[in-house]
Amino acid sequence: MSSETVLSLADLRRALTRSLDEIERQQGSVVELGADFYWTIVPWAAFSFGADVPQPTVGQLSDDVRSMRDILADHPDPPISAWHDLAHLIGILNRLAALDLADSAG
């Protein structure tokens, strides 16, 4: 395994915190995402380059935000599905990236 692809989760947390801190500095502590539907692909397909890769599907930010709130809710026995939770968070993060790009270009 190449050391270039080994990931420290602590480093990832710190990098996400820095990025989110910058978004908060630019946009404030609450961000209007300004969109709902977006293109997405299933996580495994992003790393598969064969002929049988599925077409993109439609994701929905309102569903992503609801799922994020469910993740944070105080459930006595919270269901944990890391891939599913991360897929919803990725949708939100991609929108934040798109907003930052639009702000940088404009």
pLDDT at position 5 = 94
Tokens of 87: 């897929």
pLDDT at position 76 = 82
The model scores a pTM over 0.85:
yes
pLDDT at position 74 = 84
Write the DSSP symbol of residue 44. Answer: G
> Please, what are the averages of pLDDT over each run of 10 residues along the chain (106 residues)?
89 98 97 97 87 90 96 83 94 97 87
Tell me which residue of 102, 105, 104, 106 sits closest to 33, measured CA to CA.
102
The stretches of 1-106 forming alpha helices (DSSP H) are 9-27, 61-72, 82-105
Contact status, residue 54 vs residue 45, Cβ threshold 8 Å: yes
What angle, rounded to 10 degrees, do the helices at 82-105 and 9-27 form? 40
Residues paired with residue 59 on neighbouring β-strands, in sequence order: 38
pLDDT at position 1 = 58
Burial class (CB in 10 A: 0-12, 13-18, 19+), 51: exposed
Question: How many angstroms separate the CA atoms of 57 and 78, rounded?
Answer: 27
